[in-house]
Amino acid sequence: MRILLVEDERKMASFIKRGLEEERYVVDVAPNGEKALFLAETNPYDLIILDVMLPDTTGFSICKDLRTKKNDTFILMVTARDDVQDKVLGLKTGADDYLSKPFDFDELLARIGALLRRKRLDKNPVLKIGDLELNQLTHKVTRAKKEITLTSKEYSLLEYLMLHAGQVVTRTAISEHVWNEDFDSFTNVIDVFINRVRNKVDRDFKKKLIHSLRGTGYILKES
Ligand code: CA
């Protein structure tokens, strides 16, 4: 799951980014409205955390802009004070939820979790391909009931492959969903991570689930 964090206070932004990355989210940070709109229009985010008070604009204006352009990414608006009018305005401009500063990081996580669950329309959080299972809520991964320990990035990669099981996923698509803006497309980092995930998911099993398609990308499927 990839998140755009729009926050101009640098300390706050890096604190939230680090916390979210520990929770296995992929995070980009925009310190102003201009960068926020640019990133939101060029990357496929699952959620935008949008600070209301920004140096060049307001979160309300960004939100309105994105909705006018038919961008329907979930937006969690964050404001400096618990102001009912701000809340009403935020929801009117198209935000999906609202959080007022100061907030606990745990509360932020809970709100994000709730929004992303809504996005999945209360579907079963367990993705299952053959005997491979991944729980999107608990982040637990098992194959043939045996738990597999993955790093944050390995988890994101496997989750993305499983969400698109049976479909060919290109390296470009993987880089856009699993890596953030710092990704350098001239490295073989995706192949390296695919190999790591393969070692954990496929190596000890006769039936392989992750397949490479020369020059195209990868596909996760039962046979
Ligand atoms: Ca601010």
Which of 119, 136, 167 terminates a domain? The answer is 119
> Any idea what the CATH number is for the domain that residue 38 is in?
3.40.50.2300
Q: Which residues contact 77 (CB under 8 A, 6 or more apart)?
A: 50, 52, 59, 60, 63, 90, 95, 97, 98, 99
Which of 119, 138, 154 terminates a domain? The answer is 119
Cα–ligand 1 centroid distance for 36 (angstroms)? 13
Kindly state whether residues 108 and 14 are assigned to the same domain.
Answer: yes
Which of 119, 152, 170 terminates a domain? The answer is 119
Cα–ligand 1 centroid distance for 8 (angstroms)? 5
Predicted confidence at residue 121, as pLDDT, reads: 54
Residues flanking ion ligand 1, Cβ below 5 Å: 8, 51, 53
Cα–ligand 1 centroid distance for 92 (angstroms)? 20
Q: Which residues contact 110 (CB under 8 A, 6 or more apart)?
A: none
The residue behind tokens 């398609």 is: 213
Predicted confidence at residue 129, as pLDDT, reads: 94
Q: The domain containing residue 175 runs over which residues?
A: 126-220
Predicted confidence at residue 123, as pLDDT, reads: 61
Predicted confidence at residue 80, as pLDDT, reads: 75
Predicted confidence at residue 63, as pLDDT, reads: 95
Kindly state whether residues 15 and 109 are assigned to the same domain.
Answer: yes
Q: What angle do CA 57, 58, 59 make, to 5 degrees?
A: 130
Number of domains in the chain: 2
> Any idea what the CATH number is for the domain that residue 175 is in?
1.10.10.10
Cα–ligand 1 centroid distance for 3 (angstroms)? 18
Q: Residue 134's closest CA among 120, 122, 148? A: 148
Kindly state whether residues 23 and 105 are assigned to the same domain.
Answer: yes
The residue behind tokens 């300390």 is: 11
Q: What is the mean pLDDT of each run of 10 residues along the chain (223 residues)?
A: 95 95 93 97 93 94 94 90 72 86 90 81 78 90 96 93 92 87 80 95 95 91 86
